[in-house]
Amino acid sequence: MQFSERRFLPVVFALFGLVGLWAQGVQAHCQIPCGIYDDHARVMAMLEDAATVEKAVKLIGELSGKTDAQSQNQIVRWVVNKEQHAQKIIATISDYFLTQRVKADQGDYVERLTKHHAVIVAAMKAKQNADMAYVTTLKGSIEALLPYYPEHKH
């Protein structure tokens, strides 16, 4: 059997493509399902992300009147950081809670769905704005999920 670059390259590209798809899926927890859940920890992580969004909004406001290059650079960095942490909240709700923890057969399904959706909308609005009112709404919407996911003592 002789080496043929024409046959080999498509296989290599296909393998890289599969690895790329696999790597994107690794971020979600975990859709196998693995059976390992710590819902309270996920809510607390979202609150930590919201605290980062809050700090970003505060610092964006403080830096917004400054025109020096360093301040402008820091504004960009804080905006990017705010966007990333708000997006993490959206991903946690959609990839973890809505796909695996909120079930249609739960008696309070519509209420749960509404509250989880409120977090997504609040995170989206926090991404779009640099106003602390949106951060307050975001934190409140995440805190509204805590009764559904109490801390478990192991």
**Residue 23's pLDDT band (cuts 50, 70, 90):** very low
| All domains in the chain, ordered by first residue | 36-148 (1.20.120)
| pLDDT recorded at residue 12 | 47
Q: What is residue 152's predicted lDDT score, i.e. its pLDDT? A: 80
Q: Tell me: the pLDDT tens digits for 53-62?
A: 999 999 999 9
In angstroms, rounded to a whole number, what is the distance separating the alpha carbons of residues 32 and 17?
Answer: 20
pLDDT in tens, 31-85: 656 667 799 999 999 999 999 999 999 999 999 999 999 999 999 999 999 999 9
b/e sequence 31-69, b meaning 16+ C-beta within 10 Å: eeeeeebebeebbebbbebbebbbebbebbeebeeeeee
Instruction: Mention every residue, 6+ apart, whose C-beta is less than 8 A from residue 66.
Output: 72
CA distances to 25, 60, 79, 82, 142 from 129, in Å: 29, 11, 10, 10, 18
pLDDT value at residue 34: 66
Tens of pLDDT, residues 127-154: 999 999 999 999 999 999 999 999 987 6
- HSE value, Cβ hemisphere, 13 Å, CA-based, for 131: 8
